[in-house]
């Protein structure tokens, strides 16, 4: 049985590209949302295995939608898809129950792996996001350790 996916992104081109990627990897896109409120509503109706949420959507952001989905459907695995992200946003995403953060520029290489990782209980960060988080915890030049 294929992994059932809710895809939420307000950009039609990104939506089409990600859907093609997911279809080619034998996932089943069971719902498509174009804003955060619709993502929450569709998650409750469809009960997907994984919700892939764009951070910058109208209505609720991906992180806010994740919080709402997590509160009612804790079994849904949550992935944040974003064009860019800050250390603070990654921390908020993790606190909201998101277990993978994927940059849109890296989605072709990273999204399928991220889905498999979160379904099996692991976490995933695109390499540049992992580097951002790692560097934020490194001692700054000129500071005593």
Could you state, in order of their start, the residue ranges of all structural domains in the chain?
4-137
Locate all alpha helices (DSSP H) within the chain, ordered by sequence: 12-24, 36-46, 62-72, 87-95, 107-119, 127-137
d(CA 94, CA 79): 10
Q: Please report the pLDDT score of residue 145 as a whole number.
A: 52
Which stretch of DSSP H or E encloses residue 32? strand 28-33
Q: Please report the pLDDT score of residue 132 as a whole number.
A: 87
Per-residue pLDDT of the chain in tens (145 residues, 90 and over written 9):
899 999 999 999 998 999 999 999 989 999 999 999 999 999 999 999 999 999 999 999 999 999 999 999 999 999 999 998 888 999 999 999 999 999 999 999 999 999 999 999 999 999 989 988 888 877 765 555 5
The token pair at 19 is 């859907």
Reference 32, options 44, 15, 17, 47; nearest CA is 15
Question: Are the beta carbons of 4 and 46 closer than 8 angstroms?
Answer: yes
Reference 38, options 69, 78, 84, 83; nearest CA is 69
Q: Is the pTM of this model over 0.85?
A: yes
CATH number given to 4-137: 3.40.50.2300
Tell the burial category of 16 from Cβ atoms under 10 Å away from its Cβ (0-12, 13-18, 19+).
exposed
Q: Please report the pLDDT score of residue 134 as a whole number.
A: 86
């Amino acid at each position: 049985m294929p992994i059932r996916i809710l895809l939420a992104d307000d950009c039609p081109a990104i939506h089409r590209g990600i859907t093609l990627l997911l279809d080619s990897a034998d996932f089943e896109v069971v719902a498509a949302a174009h804003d955060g409120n619709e993502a929450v509503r569709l998650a409750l109706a469809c009960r997907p295995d994984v919700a892939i949420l764009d951070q910058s959507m109208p209505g609720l952001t991906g992180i806010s939608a994740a919080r709402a989905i997590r509160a009612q459907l804790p079994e849904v695995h949550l992935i944040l898809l974003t064009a860019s992200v800050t250390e603070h946003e990654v921390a908020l995403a993790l606190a909201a129950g998101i277990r993978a953060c994927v940059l849109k520029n890296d989605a072709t290489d990273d999204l399928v792996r991220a889905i498999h990782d979160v379904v099996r209980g692991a976490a995933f960060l695109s390499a540049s996001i992992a580097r951002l988080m790692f560097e934020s915890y490194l001692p700054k030049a000129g500071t005593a350790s």
